[in-house]
Chain A
Amino acid sequence: MRYLPKSPADREAILKVIGARSIDDLFAPIPEEYRLKRDLKVPRQMAESEIVEWFRERSRENGDGLCSFLGAGAYLHYRPVIIDALISRGEFLTAYTPYQAEISQGTLQAIFEFQTMICELLEELERMVTPKTACVLIQSPNFFGTIEDVAAIAEIAHRKNVLLVVSIAEAVSLGIVEPPRQADIVAMEAQSFGVPPSFGGPFCGIIATREQFVRQMPGRLAGQTVDREGRRGFVLTLATREQHIRREKATSNICTNQALVALMVNIFMTTYGKVGLRELAKQNLAKAAYAAQQFGKHVKVLFPGSPRFNEFVIATSEDPYAINGRMLGNKIVGGLPLKKFYPEFGNASLWCCTELTTRTAIDTAVGFVAESERSIRSAKEESVEEVAG
C-alpha cells in the first residue's frame, strides 16, 4: 500500500522488538468471535490514475460545464487562484487545531486576522444592551433576495426588549449593502468568499456578537497576548467555555470546526480588500438588475418595491420545473422553483446572478422564459378561438 512507509522486513524487525510472534498477537485483546476473518467488501485497491478517472466520470455526471442561475444559500463566485495555492501548503493543510501555540502561530495569526476582517465588514455592533431573554431572527438579504429594513426591525425589537439576530447568507452583499449594525448577534455564511459550492459543504459559518456576549459564544477564538520575552503572539483563548475543560457544563462543544475554509475566506477578503469587495458587489448588483429587468419584460418580478442584491423571484405561467427541464438541454440550470419550500408560491422561482453570469447566458435564459410565456398565451388564444368557433 503506497501510503505505508514500512517494508516487510521493517514489520518483522518491529514485531521482534515488541516480542510478538505475529501481528495477530497484537489483536488478541479483541475476542476471537468478533474478529473479521474475511476481506471488507469495499472497492479493490486502485491506482492513483484509476481514482482520478473514477472521480472525473462522477464530475462529468454532476453538471460539469453547466451554467447555473442557482443561489439560495450556495453561490458561485470567482475564486482567485492564490487561495488554493496557499491553502494547499502542507503547513496549513495538514496541521491540527492550534493547541500548541508555539508551533501554530501561522494558523493562530490567520484566525486573528480573520476575526478582525469579519468585525470590520460587520462594523462595530453599535448598541450596548443588557442581557435579555428572547430574540427576533431575520435574514438579509432574505431567501427571496430582498434586503430587509434592519434598522426598522431593530427599533421594534429593542423597544420590546428582545435581542435582534440577523443572518446573512450572501457575504458578497456586504461589499455594498449596509451591515446590520443594530443587530446584537450576526450569524453569517461566508461561503461566497472564495469557497466552492462543493455540493453544499464544507462552508464557513460565522457568529459575530457584541463584546459583552463573547463569553457565551461557542467555537474557537484566537486572542492576542505576549510571550515571556514580551513578543506579540496569539493563542486559543476563553477556553473555560469549552468541552475539554468544562465537560457537561461547557457552553461550547465545538472541537473540529471549519478552520481551513475560514482561511480560504480570509485570503479572499484580503485579495479583494476595501475597494475590490465593493466593486465585486457592484458587478453582482448590475448583473441581477439587468436580468430582473429583462425577465420583467415577459413575466412578473415579485417584490418590486424592495431593494435586492443578486437574487430575485419571478413568477412564470408555466411550471418552472418544465421550463428548467428544457433549459437543461441547453446546458443552463434555471432558477430554483420555490414550490418545494413554499407551496403557496405556485410557479415562482428564485434566480441568482453573480459576476460570473454572462449577459449571453442571461439573454438565453430570458429567451426560454419568453418562449414559454408565448406558447402558453397562444395555447390559451387557440382554445378561446375553438370555443368561439
Chain B
Amino acid sequence: MTGKIRKATRHVNQNEGLIFEKSSPGKAAWKLPPLDVPEVDAGNLLGASERKDLGHMPEVSEIEIIRHFTRLSTWNYAIDLGMYPLGSCTMKYNPRVNEVVARLEGIANGHPYQPERASQGALRIMKTLSECLIEITGMDAITLQPAAGAHGELTGLLMVRAHHESRNSPRKKILIPDSAHGTNPATAAMVGYAVENLKSNSRGMVEVSALEAQMNEDVAALMLTNPNTLGVFEQEIHKIADILHAKGGLLYMDGANMNALVGKVRPGDFGVDLMHLNLHKTFSTPHGGGGPGSGPVAIRKFLEPFLPRPVLTTKSDGTLGFDYDRAQSVGRVRSFYGNFGMFVRALAYIMANGPDGLRQTTEDAVLNANYIRKGLEGTYDLPYSTPSMHEVIFSDRVQAKRGVKTMDVAKRLIDYGFHPYTTAFPLIVPGALMIEPTESESKEEMDLFIEAMKSIAEEAENDLQTVLSAPHSTRVSRLDETAAARKPVLRWKPEGS
C-alpha cells in the first residue's frame, strides 16, 4: 500500500481517553497568588446562592493537560499538514504573524467599553480594515459586526427588509439559484421570506430568461454567489442586476468565493447592492476547527441608514468613535463590535500582501484550480465544461457505475494523506467532488493530489473493496452516524450514574 501513497506514511498515534477518566481528587494545574485583601466567607455574602460543589469537573495536573490536548491534536488533519481542498471553504495558509499581532497587550486586553480616547488603536484597526474591504469590494460602506458568513447573510437580509419597508413596499420573496449553499435559503426563511428556487442553465449559470419571468414586485432580492458554487463566473451578472433593479429588487452577493476576484474585479462595479465577506476564508483568519469567523457586510450608499448600530465614525477633531444615534438601523446583530480579533488578523493579511500580493494570490488560486481540473479531466466526470475560476466541480458519475460514490473516494483520499474535498453540495451536481486548492498549494503538492485521485480512480476499477472500506490509516473508521443521532450521547457521565 505504501508504495503508491507518496504523501503519507505512518506516525505515532497515541491512545487517549477522556479527561474525566484521568481525574482524581487532589491533583491540580492551578495556583493563585495570596489574596491581598481580607478573606471573605462566601456563605455570609451569598447566603442561599452559595454553591458548594462543582460536580465532576476534572482534577488533573498541567503535564496531563498538555499531553491530553497535544495527543488529541494529532488526531486532526490541518492546513499546516497539507492540502485541504474543501470546496467553498477556501482553506488557505493562516499566517503566524496574524496570531502574534492579535495577542499584543493593548489589542488582546482592550476592553470594548474603555473610553474612546483610550481606544484609538482598536478603532484605527477597524477603520483601516473597513477602508480596505470597501476598496476591494467596490462598495460604499461596511459593517464588521456579523460573526460569520451565515450571520452576514442574516444581517444583509435584515437591511434588505428595512430598505423595502422604508419605501412602504414590503416584499415576500427571495430568489435563490438551485446551486446555492444551504445557508442562503435558511437565512431567507429565518428573516421571514419565502424562498423561490431559480434554475440554473446547462452552462451552470443563472438562466436570464427564467429570472426575467420570475421577477416581480414581490421579490425583495436575489441571493447570488459569484463565482457560483460551480466555480463559474456569472457572465451575465449585469443583466441579472438590471432585471432586479428594474422591478425594485436588490442583488445580494454571497461573497464566500471572493478569493477568485480580489484585485481582479469588484462586485460594486458589476451591480451588486450588498454582499458579505468571509474573513475566515478570503482573508486568512484561521478556521480553528469551526470558528471563530467574521462576516462583514459591504453595502451601497442607499442602504447606509440601515447599518447595524453602532457605526464607526470620524469625529470633527479627527479622532475615531462610535455613532449610536441611528434611527433607521436594523439594531445590533452582535454584542460590542463583532469579532475584533479576526479584524486584526485580516488586516495583517492585507498588509502582508499589498495590492500586488492580493492580485497574485487571486491569480494563483485560479491557476491552481485549473491545473487540478486539467489533471483530473478524463478521470473524473466534469458535469459543466464552463471555465473554472477558483474551484472545480467533478462528479462521481464514472466511479458510481462501480458502486464508488463521492464519499468513498473522499474517505480513501484520507489514506493518501489529504483532507477530502467538499461532497455536500452543490445539489445540482449529484455526487459532487468540489475541489478548491487555493493559492497556498505548490505544484508539487498538487501533483501528489492529482496522482492520489487518479490512483483512487484506478482502485475503483481494480481494487474496489479497498476504496469502499477506506479509510484504513486512521484511529477510527466510518463512525456510525445513524446511531449517534438516534440516541444522542452528548456528554460523558461517570460510570454507574
- In the complex, chain A residues 54-77 whose Cβ is within 8 Å of any chain B Cβ: 54-66, 68, 70, 72-74, 76
Residue of B288, B387, B441, B489 ringed by the most chain A CB atoms within 10 A: B288
- Knowing A3-B95, A4-B364, A202-B339, the reply to whether A100 touches B414 (Cβ < 8 A) is yes
Minimum Cβ distance to chain B for residue A274 (Å): 4
Chain A residue contacts of B484, Cβ below 8 A: 223-225, 235, 237
A198/B340 in contact, CB under 8 A: yes
A227/B125 in contact, CB under 8 A: no
B89 within 8 Å of A by Cβ? Answer: yes
- In the complex, chain A residues 348-389 whose Cβ is within 8 Å of any chain B Cβ: 355, 358-359, 362
B111/A70 in contact, CB under 8 A: yes
Chain B residue contacts of A203, Cβ below 8 A: 335
B247 within 8 Å of A by Cβ? Answer: no
Stretch of A41-49, A131-139, A156-164 at the chain-chain interface? A41-49
- Knowing A59-B106, A110-B72, the reply to whether A97 touches B40 (Cβ < 8 A) is no
- Knowing A51-B352, A89-B73, the reply to whether A243 touches B186 (Cβ < 8 A) is yes
B47 within 8 Å of A by Cβ? Answer: yes
Residue of B77, B148, B238, B492 ringed by the most chain A CB atoms within 10 A: B77
Cβ 8 A contact of B81, one of A6, A63, A90: A90
- Knowing A89-B73, A198-B107, A225-B479, the reply to whether A10 touches B374 (Cβ < 8 A) is no
Chain B residue contacts of A176, Cβ below 8 A: 42, 46, 50-51
CA distance A29 to B237 in the complex (A): 11
Chain A residue contacts of B291, Cβ below 8 A: 97, 202, 256-261
CA distance A44 to B375 in the complex (A): 35
A82/B62 in contact, CB under 8 A: yes
B97/A51 in contact, CB under 8 A: yes
A324/B354 in contact, CB under 8 A: no
Chain B residue contacts of A324, Cβ below 8 A: 115
Give B415-444 as 1s and 0s: 1 = Cβ < 8 Å from A's Cβ atoms.
Answer: 000011000110000000000000111110
Chain B residue contacts of A261, Cβ below 8 A: 288, 291-292
B122/A199 in contact, CB under 8 A: yes
A290/B38 in contact, CB under 8 A: yes
A315 within 8 Å of B by Cβ? Answer: no
Chain B residue contacts of A20, Cβ below 8 A: 370
Give B333-368 as 1s and 0s: 1 = Cβ < 8 Å from A's Cβ atoms.
Answer: 011111111101000101111111111110110111
B443/A63 in contact, CB under 8 A: no
Chain A residue contacts of B66, Cβ below 8 A: 82, 85-86
- In the complex, chain A residues 224-256 whose Cβ is within 8 Å of any chain B Cβ: 224-229, 231-235, 237-240, 242-250, 253-256
- In the complex, chain B residues 103-151 whose Cβ is within 8 Å of any chain A Cβ: 103-115, 117-122, 124-125, 128, 132, 135-136, 147-150
CA distance A314 to B490 in the complex (A): 43
Chain A residue contacts of B32, Cβ below 8 A: 276, 279-280, 283, 355
A296 within 8 Å of B by Cβ? Answer: no
Chain B residue contacts of A328, Cβ below 8 A: 115, 117-118
A197/B182 in contact, CB under 8 A: no
Give A79-110 as 1s and 0s: 1 = Cβ < 8 Å from B's Cβ atoms.
Answer: 01010111111111111111111111111011
B381 within 8 Å of A by Cβ? Answer: no
CA distance A13 to B76 in the complex (A): 33
- Knowing A82-B65, A259-B289, the reply to whether A39 touches B339 (Cβ < 8 A) is no
A1/B357 in contact, CB under 8 A: yes
B186/A247 in contact, CB under 8 A: yes
- Knowing A29-B233, A176-B51, the reply to whether A112 touches B185 (Cβ < 8 A) is no
B354/A5 in contact, CB under 8 A: no
A269 within 8 Å of B by Cβ? Answer: yes
Cβ 8 A contact of A201, one of B154, B181, B335: B335
B269 within 8 Å of A by Cβ? Answer: yes
B40/A51 in contact, CB under 8 A: no
Chain A residue contacts of B110, Cβ below 8 A: 62-63, 197-199
A62/B35 in contact, CB under 8 A: no
A28 within 8 Å of B by Cβ? Answer: yes
- Knowing A42-B354, A82-B65, the reply to whether A18 touches B30 (Cβ < 8 A) is no
B58 within 8 Å of A by Cβ? Answer: yes
Cβ 8 A contact of B104, one of A59, A178, A232, A248: A59
A26/B76 in contact, CB under 8 A: no
A186 within 8 Å of B by Cβ? Answer: no
Minimum Cβ distance to chain B for residue A108 (Å): 9
CA distance A220 to B288 in the complex (A): 14
A98/B338 in contact, CB under 8 A: no
Stretch of B260-268, B301-309, B455-463 at the chain-chain interface? B260-268
A277/B233 in contact, CB under 8 A: no
CA distance A11 to B188 in the complex (A): 41
A307/B45 in contact, CB under 8 A: yes
User: Which residue of the partner chain A has the closest CB to B284?
Assistant: A3
B344/A55 in contact, CB under 8 A: yes
B28/A273 in contact, CB under 8 A: yes
A52/B119 in contact, CB under 8 A: no
24 pairs, A vs B, C-beta closer than 8 Å:
A1-B361, A3-B440, A4-B364, A45-B356, A52-B100, A63-B106, A73-B112, A74-B111, A82-B65, A90-B79, A94-B79, A96-B89, A97-B287, A198-B340, A198-B341, A202-B340, A202-B342, A226-B479, A245-B182, A248-B186, A256-B149, A261-B292, A271-B65, A324-B115
The 10 A-B residue pairs with the shortest CB-CB distance in the complex, in nearest-first order = A200-B336, A260-B288, A45-B354, A90-B80, A62-B121, A64-B106, A200-B112, A259-B290, A59-B106, A61-B121
